[in-house]
Structure 1
Amino acid sequence: MTAPLRLIFAGTPEFAAAHLDTLLAGPHTVVACYTQPDRPAGRGKKLKPSPVKERALAAELPVHQPLSLKGADEQALLAEYHADVMVVVAYGLLLPKAVLDTPRLGCINVHASLLPRWRGAAPIQRAIEAGDTESGVTIMQMDVGLDTGAMLTKVSCPLSADDTGSSLHDKLLALGSPALTDTLAQLASGTAQPDAQDDAHSNYAPKITKAEAELDWRQSAAELERKVRAFNPFPIAFCRPENTPDTRIRVWQASLGPATNAPAGTITDIANDYIRVACGTGSLQLTHLQLPGKRALAVADILRGNAHLFRIGERFAQPEVDL
């Protein structure tokens, strides 16, 4: 039996925290955690620790929250842990070469895509937005590039036509934790076989901005339906009535409707369970909405008290900035 590894864990959101849970329950020893600094959250904008910090403190682990790992002092502190491997999951900081070279067996990253497809910050959302039919998790040996390191483990799953950012997140989480366990076992035993990525097949998945969540009705209904699913639960797609452009209506769920000759953004039909809007191609049926200051509801419930907000022939505004 191989000796347990000494691990440093670096991550921030819930996706990362769940992988930390797996490590804490496994045979290896987590000696320290790194995570992003506490951020303002909620209406009161009080500082809130990351899910990784909360888990680490509960496990009585040392927690470090540097703004950068480029400084000599931070690098010296990390080296003092004499780690065999640094496990990185959605950390949010780039690791300089000095840090990558510090652990005995280097740094590995759990990435939520089938690399080399969707390198970058938002692989889950971009896969749905692009209409991919397959997704997965890649565990790679980190190098100085952005998600360019040699692949150690790849596991895949189908991406269905009704997957949202939330449901795909959960699918990949279920794949990532056991894959991480297997990869660490291979590193511990010396049997890992790195496989270089083919850069020619790479795509970049930039960070999601709130501005790009606005629906551009000039796009096809198929594109917009995928965007609605990709941006659920964050940042949530939205639209603005042309006659009240300061009003943001969040679109939680939508479905494809029939073709129409109406100008893009025009409400063409209102039924009990949907509001149909013309798109560049086809139409989109809005089925679950959230009015400002209210909770998300099915359109049937929205219309019972707010039917005056939606009238056939009225239009939704186009984005103020082309994305």
Structure 2
Amino acid sequence: MPSRSLTDPPRIAFAGTPEFAARALEALIGFDCDIPLVLTQPDRPAGRGMKLTPSPVKACALAHGLTVDQPDTLKTPELRAPLVEAAPDLLVVVAYGMLLPRAVLDIPRLGCINIHASLLPRWRGAAPIQRAIEAGDARTGITLMQMDIGLDTGPMLAEHVVDITDIDTTATLHDRLAEAGARLLIDTLPDLLAGRVTPRAQPDHGACYAAKIGKTEAALDFRRSASELGRRLRAFDPFPGGLMSVDGTPIKLWRAEVLAEPGAPGLISRVDDQGVVIGCGAGSLCITELQKAGGRRLPVAEFLRGHALAAGQQAQLPG
């Protein structure tokens, strides 16, 4: 590549895949820099037709005329070559979905930085937003960190705290955190590029792991407390939702209110247009949004017009 002067804008490459990362890429596009390369995951099958679909980051990058590379690994020199040739000063990584080997971390002159959706060291790993809601955390946030070879273990560069409300789902909290992450990146970059940011080691205490959410976690055990199950429903919206079985029929649950009134675990005690009330190990859940297999998410009144439920039926774990 041609030689550069000290007045040239910084060269900042980007690696990311989902919508959360696309928000940060959009912000970076508006920053005074060159973006020589965007890395993202290969196109994946999606939708009912399982058609190969580009990631949100790829769609954003192509819309702005940026160069995109989609390696399925970065473990070989050949697959790292486009990043080497891009010669970035910095690589910004956001929910890329791939651990970066040391050989990649060493390519940019200023290393690699990551936008992570938690207040590290709490909730390192793949599902920090969901696990924070599920655990009943009152707050979470964004950590901008310098990457090392560990899993979200690198030194911290900046933080932004975000409160978690009692009605937040993963979808609503995701959007607030995505915007906060994009802002924190742009606010921090000038000082970072000028060498005015001092990395801070993560605390030794408070570390925990946010395991990836699996479909099997959707099954609801009504022997657990209503407050716990209510948090799980909010954490698992939009994926994978909650799941119960009534008379052998699986039903997905999406929204619920936590009630203090007692009830036998799994017993449906009340059914009306305001909700389906199901007893739990402590308290009850009033389900307000449901979905039948192959159907749409429906408010309870609309669901009940096509799918009868009655007091006295027993909700069970899916078979």
**TM-score, scaled to structure 2:** 0.95
Cross-structure match for 1:295: 296
Cross-structure match for 1:16: 21
Cross-structure match for 1:255: 257
Q: How does 1:50-65 map to 2 (within 5 A)?
A: 50-65=55-70
- On the 8 A contact 1:215/1:238 being kept in 2, the answer is yes
Q: Distance in 1 between matches of 2:31 and 2:54?
A: 24
Q: Over the residues paired in the alignment, what is the CA RMSD in angstroms? A: 1.4
Cross-structure match for 2:129: 124
- On the 8 A contact 1:216/1:319 being kept in 2, the answer is no
Cross-structure match for 2:316: 317
Residues 54-97 of structure 1: CA deviation (Å, up to 9, x unaligned) = 11111222111111111111223311111000000000000001
Q: Please tell me the residue identity of whatever aligns with 2:133.
A: I
Cross-structure match for 1:103: 108
Q: Distance in 2 between matches of 1:319 and 1:140?
A: 41
Deviation, 1:150, is 0.3
Gaps of 5+ in 2: 1-5
Q: Please tell me the residue identity of whatever aligns with 2:314.
A: R
Instruction: Give the alignment partner of residue 95 of structure 2, picking from 82, 90, 96.
Output: 90
Runs of 4+ in 1 over 2 A off after TM superposition: 1-4, 258-261, 304-307
Cross-structure match for 1:276: 277
Q: Distance in 2 between matches of 1:286 and 1:207?
A: 26
Q: Please tell me the residue identity of whatever aligns with 2:59.
A: E
Q: Distance in 1 between matches of 2:269 and 2:81?
A: 64
Q: Distance in 2 between matches of 1:132 and 1:100?
A: 32
Q: Please tell me the residue identity of whatever aligns with 1:297.
A: L
Residues 125-176 of structure 1: CA deviation (Å, up to 9, x unaligned) = 1000000001110000000000000000100121111111011011112211
Q: Please tell me the residue identity of whatever aligns with 2:280.
A: C
Aligned length: 314
Residues 255-288 of structure 1: CA deviation (Å, up to 9, x unaligned) = 01233242x1111111221111111111111011
Cross-structure match for 1:151: 156
Residues 243-264 of structure 1: CA deviation (Å, up to 9, x unaligned) = 21xx3312121001233242x1
Deviation, 1:200, is 2.1
Q: Distance in 1 between matches of 2:203 and 2:275?
A: 44
Q: Distance in 1 between matches of 2:36 and 2:51?
A: 29
Q: Distance in 2 between matches of 1:118 and 1:16?
A: 18
Q: Distance in 2 between matches of 1:285 and 1:230?
A: 17
Q: Distance in 2 between matches of 1:183 and 1:194?
A: 12
- On the 8 A contact 1:128/1:164 being kept in 2, the answer is yes
- On the 8 A contact 1:12/1:92 being kept in 2, the answer is yes
* Residue 181 of structure 1 pairs with residue 186 of structure 2: yes
Q: Distance in 2 between matches of 1:266 and 1:2?
A: 70
- On the 8 A contact 1:105/1:187 being kept in 2, the answer is no
- On the 8 A contact 2:268/2:312 being kept in 1, the answer is yes
Q: Distance in 2 between matches of 1:2 and 1:99?
A: 26
Q: Please tell me the residue identity of whatever aligns with 1:293.
A: G
The secondary structure found in structure 1 opposite 2:35 is strand
- On the 8 A contact 1:2/1:189 being kept in 2, the answer is no
Deviation, 1:41, is 0.6
Q: Distance in 2 between matches of 1:216 and 1:41?
A: 30
Q: Distance in 2 between matches of 1:2 and 1:183?
A: 19
- On the 8 A contact 1:139/1:151 being kept in 2, the answer is yes
Cross-structure match for 2:217: 212
Q: Please tell me the residue identity of whatever aligns with 2:227.
A: A
The secondary structure found in structure 1 opposite 2:32 is coil
The secondary structure found in structure 1 opposite 2:315 is coil
Deviation, 1:44, is 0.8
Deviation, 1:317, is 1.6
Q: Which moved more, 1:251-260 or 1:139-148?
A: 251-260
The secondary structure found in structure 1 opposite 2:36 is strand
Q: Distance in 2 between matches of 1:129 and 1:71?
A: 38
Q: Please tell me the residue identity of whatever aligns with 2:315.
A: F
- On the 8 A contact 2:251/2:291 being kept in 1, the answer is yes
**TM-score, scaled to structure 1:** 0.94
Deviation, 1:13, is 0.4
Deviation, 1:196, is 0.4
Q: Distance in 2 between matches of 1:300 and 1:2?
A: 63
The secondary structure found in structure 2 opposite 1:175 is helix
